[in-house]
Chains A and B, each alone.
Chain A
């Protein structure tokens, strides 16, 4: 079974929610859509306070190449456009829509039968994806059309569909593969057409045997697409690790996957592409796992973007009384939320409730130079050194030690026997080095 050769850890999987089929969450009363929803430039509103909108209607326009459109996930009236806290607690401008009914634009096909008859040219596919506001649903929210627009001089050879879902607790991709497998593969086919490649590989970790079986069977009908079963190891779902495991190619430091001829998209993104092309539907909803050790009930909800997170938690039985942390995303790379009424975004893959007993860090001791952090780092960095340099504010030395290659997977902090906050200082270093790099190019 293939895997990536260096580094990686094995956190307990806790995939409690993998048996919960996707449920549609009832509509909220108000949705809040932040303009800075995705990586890149924030979108610009095209509606104003008081406007009536239908679900699927464009409400904010992309403001550059690396930017994306935003569409109304609900029908109703624009309540206000003003700063509201996002998952970091900082206030950023957001569009609030008061929900009234559930009326969609007539051009959108809301049926659920599987269609695979659309024939579109590569350029049209990319165009539609751009218009429909598709961004990476793996969590990074990188505008997908940017990945599909191959720069001059580079060529795509393989498309990889990321069905790994290596984070503990999260099961939204798993359920999507089980319930919408055919649609995902149709989406993959469309992406292959857009990239003009003839082979695609769906990477799935070995802890999802039902999904592997289902998709392998479906692949018989889709020439050029195959399933690659991968060893369960975190962070197999990281783009670079996935490419290395499946193709053996290593993306060079500072470069992108396209530089080794590969493009990677999440299964959720492939599904969104299918809906965009075949149903003319923009990206306005996604599957979010709601789970946690102390939750009585777990669920995988199909949620409209902008729904306040507390509504998902209420629907799944409410916040357990001994909850210490609410995490947006998975427990290894996700964000601990300062308040739970922040909205679901295109990048919210799950909400994990952690009990108080597991919410506090261990006391941090001196580094005992055991080099476990070195051996688990998938990028071959030296976290112990980066933390020492970060404490001493030696940003130039951190840049030389390749801190910018860090993918912030958290394997180092996870493993450290002394409980040292390695990733905290690495993030500080990345922020500071970024500032220095930007001031250099000015």
Chain B
């Protein structure tokens, strides 16, 4: 008989793998380092302040809500509050006042995540809910974009300019021809490395793609959602551009401008709010791409990724209900 312990009896399996929620979250944080580094290079002080406030306030709210409202154990150590904080920061301009960031964190963590039951129970992406709440509540501050590099040492008083998408939207509304507007935006190479106006995290396609490749390598995400979103956006805008290049911008512009790459790689791929099957994920991504294009081209907002992702988040239970994995030994209909 065992000398000192009672034997433990449990169901099989009696081994566990090495995956944990913490490891996944930390991998996501690591993948966001290149984009954060670029934001420091282009937005300097503002980026630092906004990101740190967002992360600290998200974590604080999660701790406080757990301890005093839910009287449950703290879940801070799983890293998901920190990830939400960084993603929220990535989605706002680097000159957003501190109190607005805190409100955004409260909505993201308190309303979009904890009120549904904590990690894993939320139907909508918390960072995006926080971001959209801020956009609708404080439209002016949320659409005043600091100029890259120029405003590095400033925070609230950074000089601001318009993002490429905003330039296009306003210009077309004013009746300016497309060719003229395209001269006002930075070149594609510049846009690729991030030298353009925009929110903290969305500017550098290069940094985001590096992060995305890291996530795919570490098996945190798969290629299905990012590729289907970008392919749909490319296809939709490509078709419109071929029909009338004088009226619609080319697909490469649409892919580099705005938050589509940030959305495709970091926001839409949030595992809690995306479908469970690869085919479902392709449908999800296509939907996001389509809605983004519709809002960008025909809607009144210059950028539509956040709304598109939130709308498709609502469809995820439906997608999961009808798109099932292929069962082993599924009888073929004709066989």
Contact = CB atoms under 8 A, between A and B. Distances in A.
Interface of A: 6, 9, 11, 89, 168, 240, 244, 250-253, 255, 310, 319, 321-327, 329, 331-340, 354, 356, 358-362, 365-372, 374, 377-382, 384, 402, 405, 408, 410-411, 413-419, 421, 423-424, 427
Given A366-B120, A381-B327, 16 more contacts: A6-B328, A253-B329, A333-B12, A359-B14, A360-B8, A361-B16, A365-B21, A365-B119, A374-B325, A380-B327, A380-B330, A382-B276, A405-B328, A414-B13, A414-B17, A427-B11
Contacts of B78: 365
Contact of A354 (B14, B20, B24): B14
B274 to A, nearest CB: 8
A415 B19 contact: yes
Given A319-B2, A365-B120, A374-B277, A339 B7 contact: yes
Nearest to A12: B15
Interface string B308-335: 0000000000000000111111110000
B12 A417 contact: no
Interface in B1-51: 1-5, 7-17, 19-21, 23-24
B247 interface: no
Contacts of B329: 240, 250-253, 255, 379, 405
Interface string B270-298: 01111011000000000000000000000
A415 B13 CA distance: 10
A147 to B, nearest CB: 18
22 contacts: A252-B329, A252-B331, A253-B327, A253-B331, A255-B329, A319-B1, A323-B2, A327-B14, A332-B14, A337-B9, A339-B7, A358-B15, A365-B75, A365-B119, A366-B120, A369-B274, A371-B271, A380-B326, A380-B328, A381-B325, A384-B276, A414-B13
A423 B7 contact: no
Contacts of B277: 371, 374
A327 B272 CA distance: 35
Contacts of A244: 328
Classify the interface of chain A: helix, strand, loop or mixed.
loop
A427 B10 CA distance: 13
A332 B283 CA distance: 35
Contacts of B5: 322-324, 356
Contacts of A360: 8
B7 A366 contact: no
Given A321-B3, A380-B327, A418-B21, A423 B12 contact: yes
Contact of B7 (A329, A337, A371, A416): A337
A310 B7 CA distance: 13
Given A368-B120, A371-B271, A378-B328, A416 B19 contact: yes
B10 A336 contact: yes
A18 to B, nearest CB: 18
Please list the 8 inter-chain residue pairs (A to B) with the smallest Cβ-Cβ separation, ordered nearest first: A410-B13, A366-B120, A417-B19, A371-B276, A380-B327, A321-B3, A379-B328, A252-B329
Contacts of B175: none
Interface in B76-133: 78, 117-121
A168 to B, nearest CB: 7
A331 B328 contact: no
Contacts, number: 166
Nearest to A373: B276
Contacts of A354: 14
A278 B14 CA distance: 39
Nearest to A352: B14
Given A325-B7, A337-B7, A366-B117, A331 B271 contact: no
Contacts of A371: 271, 276-277
A86 to B, nearest CB: 14
Contacts of B273: 369
* Interface size band for B: 35 or more
Nearest to B220: A370
B119 A336 contact: no
Contacts of A332: 12-15
Given A251-B329, A323-B5, A380-B327, A374 B12 contact: no
B4 A321 contact: yes
A415 B120 contact: no
Contacts of B19: 372, 415-417
Given A333-B13, A338-B9, A368 B324 contact: no
Q: Which of B118, B120, B273 has the most CB of A within 10 A?
A: B120
A283 B96 CA distance: 78
B38 to A, nearest CB: 28
Q: Which of B118, B326, B329 has the most CB of A within 10 A?
A: B329
A351 to B, nearest CB: 12
Contacts of A336: 7-12, 14
Contact of B324 (A321, A362, A382): A382
Contacts of A331: 12-15
A411 to B, nearest CB: 8
Contacts of A372: 19
B270 to A, nearest CB: 9
Interface in B188-222: none
Nearest to B119: A366
Nearest to A426: B11
A390 to B, nearest CB: 13
B14 A370 contact: no
A253 B330 contact: yes
Contacts of A417: 19-21, 23-24
Contacts of A384: 276
A6 to B, nearest CB: 7
Contacts of A11: 15, 17
B316 to A, nearest CB: 9
B24 A423 contact: no
Contacts of A374: 276-277, 325
A322 B7 CA distance: 10
A16 B75 CA distance: 39
Given A321-B4, A324-B8, A336-B7, A168 B15 contact: yes
Nearest to B326: A380
B11 A421 contact: yes
Contact of B271 (A6, A168, A370): A370
A363 to B, nearest CB: 9
A345 B19 CA distance: 35
A368 to B, nearest CB: 5
A253 B23 CA distance: 36
Contacts of B331: 252-253
B2 A321 contact: yes
B1 A340 contact: yes
Nearest to A413: B13
Contacts of A323: 2, 5, 7
A441 B8 CA distance: 38
A334 B325 contact: no
Interface in B229-244: none
